[in-house]
Chain A
Amino acid sequence: MSSVLKTENVNKFFYDPTEFQVLKNISFEVQKGEFLSMIGKSGSGKSTLLYILSTMDTNYSGALWIDNQKMTGLSIDELAQIRNQKIGFVFQFHYLLPEFSCLKNVMIPALKLNQLEEKEIEARAYDKLKMLGLEDQALKPANKLSGGQQQRVAIARALINDPLIIMGDEPTGNLDSRNTNLVFDILQDLTRTYGQTIIAVTHDDDFAKKSDRIIEMMDGEIIS
């Protein structure tokens, strides 16, 4: 198995309001096709770590590799390009563009990547929505959907570019158990069938237990 993501001695401090080390010597590795859950008490630094792994936060010490390429030190624009291509995101609070239809929301990362015809992208986006049980919502504006539906649209969007890694900050936080299971199964299938990698922060112990590996954090450290 090959490594798709690796960190080495990642440390991060916040200086406002007082100096505070939020991440301490984080070193770990994630293999291709792995389904990784990240758990830990509120405030333990999970989201902070995930923002660093996602390449959005560059303000840390230590090093990060994705797909065997060193991310640390790359320019903001280079990182954006990599995110667009290799990383799919589901945020802690569903974040859709409210004025666009669900379909368009799903399409945007692919339109940005600009490797397929718009027609093809649309068909793919439609497939993803269908997979998440949202085909009849496709043309509704995103802000007319329920919280759970929006979160599933966000998951569909994370999948559109067939990313190497899908990162989620409580990707099932807004879903009932039936939909949580649906999403889990879809994500697991992606790791099994397509070898995509999942890193999901979760407070749902059942969800975590079903995944391949659990990383537990406490006070900015990985404890297991």
Chain B
Amino acid sequence: MNINSGIAKTYILSNRKLTAVGILGVLLGMSVYIFMNSLLVGFDKSSNKSIFRVNSHITVYKDDEISKELPKEKNKFFLIVNPTVVPNQNTIENPQLVMKTISQHSDVVEVSPQVMSSVFYNNGRTQIPGNAFGVVPEEANRMYHIESFMVEGDFNRLASNPNGIIIGSGIAEKMNVFLNDNINITSSKGVNRTFKVMGIFKTNNSVVDKSKSYVNIAASQQMLKEGNAYITEIHVNVKDQEKAEDIAAQLSKITGYKAEGWKSANETFMAANKMRKIIITFVSLTILLIAGFGIYNILNMTVSQKINDIAILKAMGFKGKDVVRIFVTQAVSIGVIGVMGGVLMSTIMITLLKKVYLGGDIGYFPIDYEPTKYAQGIFIGLFITFFAGYIPAKKAAKVDPVEIFRK
């Protein structure tokens, strides 16, 4: 072993208490960092999962338009005194062409048209307001994985059943209907129609579960007294959901319709996510930093305790950089042991928590071993310990032996 590391080792072993405190600090900081950040990723994944049960990555629709000024003409100025929304049909013209254009975008993986209509679910004299979504069943299932949150029935039966409907569990409860029962619906255009319940889903978003139903797109068009070219929304899924906003902007430009990414559509929700992320990042980094201060303190203490040793070593021909190595080795050893302990500890904590069943929307505790967070934690942990050791070591390297010997 190199003499510098040999000396570092002796210092580590001869001051076990201090070393243990340092290691424990890093270990705790490290495990909290990895654990909390893995938790964050878990939360995000689970909340994204519930978002994507009801949202596509991008929704393309016709936005309301405000009346605009007319083009300027010579010697004439137009002034709009009271701009209002232009009465217009909220429908996409020539949807087949628009959909084709969208699906040619290289990032787009799934395109599905929808016809949304406001309806009343009739139960005797009571009426429950809600929305019936006309979809192409296979496409909708690919997009929202509806099959995965069905509680009764089979979503695929919708395709072969023009009169079929899949309803939210809240509606089923209120209306007291079961699988294969009939349910009567009135649309905003006054069309009345009876559907057969092919299945019941539960997203665990109670608002959705109490109002939403899926029908075939043709049925929905008929309810609105429209033809088969009538499409209110085009839903789009892309390869990387994180890029949805950018792609939405591009689609908006290409198609001329409003395209909105899932993040803008769920702004409040995303803001809450962001806040959670900031808080957890801040707290976990602070804890790691405190562990770094611990090491800094310990090294500072060691340097002051060993100032005589440093003077002797320098007198015997140890260079400044040898002294730096001795103390940095000490710090990094504490850091490495602490980091390994922290990795082990957080893995144990995640393993235990993963098994905790919470029920409800979430199911098992939404945490998993996140390799990137492990890597990040290890990197930051070692980085901090290195610097926490380097600063006192640099100080030690500057010790003037003559000054010490004179005392």
Interface segment among B110-118, B311-319, B362-370: the answer is B311-319
A81 touches B316 (CB 8 A): no
Tell me, rounded to whole Å, the shortest Cβ–Cβ distance linking B43 to chain A.
49
Among candidates A77, A81, A97, A99, residue contacting B312 with C-beta atoms closer than 8 Å? A97
Q: Within 8 Å of chain B (Cβ to Cβ): is A215?
A: no
- Render A69-84 as a binary contact track against B, CB cut-off 8 A, 1 for contact: 0000000110011111
A99 contacts which chain B residues (CB < 8 A)? 10-11, 14
Q: Within 8 Å of chain A (Cβ to Cβ): is B242?
A: no
- Complex CA gap A89/B3 in Å reads 19
Q: Within 8 Å of chain A (Cβ to Cβ): is B77?
A: no
Q: Within 8 Å of chain B (Cβ to Cβ): is A91?
A: yes
B317 touches A112 (CB 8 A): yes
- Complex CA gap A167/B312 in Å reads 14
A91 touches B405 (CB 8 A): yes
With A111-B3, A112-B3 in contact, is A57–B316 under 8 Å at CB? no
- Render B1-35 as a binary contact track against A, CB cut-off 8 A, 1 for contact: 00100110011001000000000000000000000
- Render A81-93 as a binary contact track against B, CB cut-off 8 A, 1 for contact: 1111100010110
The residue on A at minimum CB distance from B312 is A95
Interface residues on A, range: 20 to 34
Among candidates A81, A89, A92, A95, residue contacting B319 with C-beta atoms closer than 8 Å? A81
A95 touches B317 (CB 8 A): no
Q: Within 8 Å of chain A (Cβ to Cβ): is B406?
A: yes
A76 contacts which chain B residues (CB < 8 A)? 319-320
Q: Within 8 Å of chain A (Cβ to Cβ): is B402?
A: yes
B contact patch SS: helix
- Complex CA gap A98/B307 in Å reads 12
Q: Within 8 Å of chain B (Cβ to Cβ): is A100?
A: yes
The residue on A at minimum CB distance from B13 is A99
B319 contacts which chain A residues (CB < 8 A)? 76-77, 80-81
B6 contacts which chain A residues (CB < 8 A)? 111
The residue on B at minimum CB distance from A88 is B316
With A77-B320, A80-B318, A111-B3 in contact, is A92–B405 under 8 Å at CB? yes
- Residues of B303-326 at the interface with A, using a CB-CB cut-off of 8 Å, are 308-309, 311-322
A57 contacts which chain B residues (CB < 8 A)? 402
With A51-B402, A56-B401 in contact, is A83–B320 under 8 Å at CB? no
Q: List 17 A-B contacts (CB under 8 A).
A: A56-B401, A76-B319, A77-B320, A81-B319, A83-B317, A89-B315, A89-B316, A91-B312, A92-B405, A95-B308, A95-B312, A97-B313, A108-B3, A108-B7, A109-B316, A109-B317, A114-B3
* Smallest CB-CB A-B distances: 8 pairs: A84-B317, A111-B3, A83-B317, A99-B14, A80-B319, A109-B316, A57-B402, A77-B319
